[in-house]
Amino acid sequence: MTTLATAVQALEGLYPLRYAEDWDHPGLIVGDLMAPVERVAFAADPTAAIVERAIDWGADLIVSHHPLLFRAVHQVSGLGPRGDIVRRLNESHCALWVGHTNADASWRGVGMAAADAFGLTDQTPLTPIDDPTAAHPVGLGRVGRLPEPMTLRDFARRVYDALPMHPAGGIQVAGDPSMTVRTVALLPGSGDSLFDEARASGADVYVTSDLRHHPALDALEQARYEARMRACGVALGQGDANLRPALINTPHSAIESIWFSYALEDVPAAIEALGGARPECVWFRDVTDPWSLAITPAGEAEPVDGTDLAR
């Protein structure tokens, strides 16, 4: 039998909590450490619908990327949805473990999984973490190269095709669609706080999510200015006379969910390596981004129903 304690040990060996950002509080949120774990459900967000689906499937443990309790709370009562989710988890003997920024930074974690899916080679972390105990480079985001150059338009299509689900709105691109892309920086999740790091990496394009109007516009204006200066012979920024980096804005949960393609293999293997029985695992590919409809110049996109096949 595998206990929750063994499952947590396996998870935190793969995705160490010490890699989490200071403001983040991942790890075990709900659960009895001595309870058995035979079925594990993976999902981007622990919404009420996901929790009900996992309980109906018979999950003993939900592993989510996003926290249930993102900010400090003072009650988990029936006065709000989070308290109700905690109640349902406890009543159903289903634990919840969150791998957030610790999983972002880990080897075969969120950043690496996305970079691999986009075909990047020679990868390094965008913001490295100094961990002398790590066997591989770790840190937030990734920077890597494409085996063969391609246009921004073609690379954006590759990004879109690699997403495991496609929320309404698709992806947005800022930059010349015909520009050549060789080097890519990416940060799955909200990445407008790392524009300086993406620009310093020399990347041709920066792939992230949740780009807000003013920070994105400021980043593009900085890139345009530096390109103009380079065209005049002033060594400012990196690259040639073209705008760099271009921006690709992806649906938040979709790009981060690529991680589960690795976690589905790695977590059961880590549990077995600790002497536990290999649990049955499922990945719920529900669309948990909040938008359900997008209207574009090309017309109205099909509404998103919020669910996809479990894999």
The structural domains of the chain, ordered by start, are 4-100+259-283 (3.40.1390.30), 110-255 (3.40.1390.30)
Alpha helices (runs of H) in 232-283, residue ranges in sequence order? 252-257, 260-273
Asked whether 260 and 42 are in contact (CB, 8 A), the reply is: yes
> Which has the higher per-residue pLDDT, 297 or 99?
99
Instruction: Fill in the DSSP letter of residue 188.
Output: E
Q: Is 104 annotated as a binding residue?
A: yes
DSSP code for 13: H
In the chain, the amino acid numbered 267 is V
Task: Centre a 10 Å sphere on the Cβ of residue 292 and count the other Cβ atoms it contains.
Answer: 13
Query: Is 214 assigned a ligand-binding role in the annotation?
Result: no
pLDDT of residue 301: 54
Is 65 marked within a binding site? yes
pLDDT per residue as tens digits for the range 146-192? 999 999 999 999 999 999 999 888 999 999 999 999 999 999 999 99
The string of pLDDT tens digits covering residues 105-142 is 999 999 999 999 999 999 999 999 999 999 999 999 99
How is residue 46 written in tokens?
């622990």
What is the number of alpha carbons within 13 Å of residue 168 lying toward its C-beta? 16
pLDDT, tens digit (0-9, with 9 covering 90-100), for 195-216: 999 999 999 999 999 999 998 8
The Cα–Cα gap between 286 and 288 comes to 6
The pLDDT, as a whole number, for residue 310 is 46
Q: Is the pLDDT of residue 295 over 50?
A: yes
Collapsed DSSP state (helix, strand, coil) of residue 240: coil
What is the C-alpha separation between 228 and 238, in angstroms, rounded? 12
**Cα 5 from Cα 26, distance rounded (Å):** 16
Evaluate whether 286 touches 53 at the Cβ level (below 8 Å).
yes
In whole angstroms, give the CA distance from residue 43 to residue 191. Answer: 21
* β-sheet bridge partners, residue 140: 127
